[in-house]
């Protein structure tokens, strides 16, 4: 492996572990900048990312020969979701620089380790307890003394692997329903808002932060993202400081997001780390001078980081399977795209299911209220009559 810190010029091969929509948008940014993209994932054939890739490797995460072959063709490798097995990352890292690396991936895959790390670097958290068995579940609820959310320590996302509990008995039952695996019990937060902060950190340690994004969720899935967040400056500064601290203490090279809760008194509490671009910041493609995906390309290739500031306020709404026009509605997209300032992103997934992320609609405008109105109107116009 050559010098891992050298700049990779256009024409170099950038690899992606994972083949979903984040890989697709990374590949779009990379190919626009003149890079070649290779994708590796068990489900890579026909995947969202495959359409922009020069080479697609559909092989298992434990196929060491395939991983080695893939890595040898790449000048540097990134990842597009945090559930890539660490063992696969280790194989790839023997042959090509991987950004972000093992430490960030390990933390993001285990809520217990993640929370311990955040505490160790002084980032505030809500009250929580680890739950490894039924006795832990009862004791954790007793210690917190309030309603809470039991979450699996590993493999949960978009509201999956979670149960709300309001008693010791419910905590024990929830732990059993979740498969009797390691969990964390989090105390219910006095929630005023949720935010996401995306940070890019380069090979040289340089660091830029995108403006704080305010997020709204429905059934555990991001529904609306707004930038800039409509919160007081002290809260925005606290959130930004926490995200920068995470990137610096991880010695991370790449793009990462810190999701946080904001309480009614303005306290910022970290929720979780995502060591890759984030759904909430897809709006940076249209709204920012440099999108989160171009930042990912720049960090991977050893280029200077781009300007993260917004050109205009923006609001993005997710498109789930239930939001798309029905097969007989030929005018849904026409209606949506007639809305001023609205852009359409579809991920190329073949099957539209309820709750499945199929795309997103960002809207840019001179002010946030107008952008929000246009984004919501456009999504509603996609499907006038829902079943």
Cis status, amide bond into 204, omega within 30 of 0: no
CA 140 to chain CA centroid, nearest Å:
29
Same domain, 237 and 349: yes
Residue 192: pLDDT over 60? yes
Same domain, 19 and 93: yes
Same domain, 376 and 240: yes
Domain end marker among 142, 164, 187? 187
Report pLDDT for 377. Answer: 97
Residues 137, 29: Cα–Cα separation, whole Å: 45
Q: Which of 72-76, 93-97, 351-355 has the lowest mean pLDDT?
A: 351-355
Report pLDDT for 387. Answer: 45
Same domain, 183 and 196: no
Cα four-point dihedral sign 124, 129, 132, 137: negative
What is the pTM for the complete model shown? 0.94
Cα four-point dihedral sign 274, 144, 112, 183: negative
Residues 142, 112: Cα–Cα separation, whole Å: 19
Same domain, 146 and 62: no
User: Domain limits at 134?
Assistant: 127-187
Residue 225: pLDDT over 50? yes
Inside any domain, residue 104: no
Select the more confidently predicted residue: 146 or 268.
268
Report pLDDT for 330. Answer: 78
Same domain, 205 and 155: no
Give the number of domains in the chain.
3
Domain end marker among 187, 207, 239? 187
Same domain, 308 and 373: yes
What mean pLDDT comes out for the span 343-360? 94
Report pLDDT for 6. Answer: 82
CA distances in angstroms from 317 to 106, 280, 310, listed in the order given = 30, 9, 18
Q: Which of 7-21, 142-156, 175-189, 364-378 has the lowest mean pLDDT?
A: 142-156
What mean pLDDT comes out for the span 73-82? 96
Residue 140: pLDDT over 60? yes
The four Cα atoms 251, 103, 249, 305 give a dihedral, to 10 degrees, of 40
Cα four-point dihedral sign 50, 53, 55, 59: negative
pLDDT band per the 50, 70, 90 thresholds, residue 214: very high
CA distances in angstroms from 387 to 188, 323, 376, 377, listed in the order given = 34, 10, 19, 18
Same domain, 227 and 373: yes
Select the more confidently predicted residue: 66 or 162.
66
């Amino acid at each position: 492996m050559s010098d891992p810190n050298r700049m990779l010029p256009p024409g170099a091969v950038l690899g992606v572990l994972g083949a979903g929509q984040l890989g697709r948008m990374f590949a779009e940014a990379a190919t626009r900048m003149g890079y070649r993209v290779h994708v590796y994932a068990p489900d890579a054939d026909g995947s969202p990312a495959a359409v922009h890739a020069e080479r697609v490797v559909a092989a298992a995460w434990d196929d060491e020969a395939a991983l080695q072959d893939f890595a040898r063709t790449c000048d540097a490798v990134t990842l597009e979701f945090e559930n890539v097995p660490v063992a696969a990352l280790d194989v790839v890292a023997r042959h090509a620089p991987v950004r972000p690396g093992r430490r960030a991936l390990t933390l993001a895959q285990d809520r217990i380790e993640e929370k311990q790390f955040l505490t160790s670097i002084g980032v505030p958290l809500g009250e929580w307890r680890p739950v490894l068995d039924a006795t832990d579940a009862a004791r954790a609820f007793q210690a917190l003394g309030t309603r809470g959310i039991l979450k699996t320590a590993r493999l949960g996302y978009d509201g999956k692997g979670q149960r709300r509990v309001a008693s010791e008995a419910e905590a024990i039952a929830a732990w059993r329903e979740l498969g009797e695996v390691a969990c964390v019990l989090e105390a219910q937060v006095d929630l005023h808002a949720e935010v996401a902060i995306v940070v890019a950190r380069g090979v040289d340690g340089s660091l830029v932060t995108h403006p704080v994004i305010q997020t709204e969720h429905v059934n555990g899935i991001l529904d609306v993202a707004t930038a800039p967040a409509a919160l007081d400056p002290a809260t925005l500064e606290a959130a930004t400081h926490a995200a920068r601290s995470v990137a610096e203490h991880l010695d991370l090279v790449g793009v990462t997001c810190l999701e946080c809760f904001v309480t009614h008194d303005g306290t910022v509490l970290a929720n979780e780390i995502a060591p890759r671009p984030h759904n909430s910041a897809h709006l940076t493609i249209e709204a920012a001078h440099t999108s989160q995906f171009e930042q990912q390309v720049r960090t991977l290739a050893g280029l200077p980081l781009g300007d993260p500031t917004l050109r205009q306020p923006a609001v993005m709404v997710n498109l789930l399977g239930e939001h798309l026009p029905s097969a007989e509605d030929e005018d849904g997209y026409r209606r949506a795209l007639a809305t001023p300032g609205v852009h359409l992103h579809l991920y190329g997934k073949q099957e539209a299911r309820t709750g499945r992320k199929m795309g997103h609609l960002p809207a840019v405008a001179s002010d946030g209220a107008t952008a929000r109105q246009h984004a919501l109107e456009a999504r509603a116009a996609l499907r006038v009559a829902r079943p």
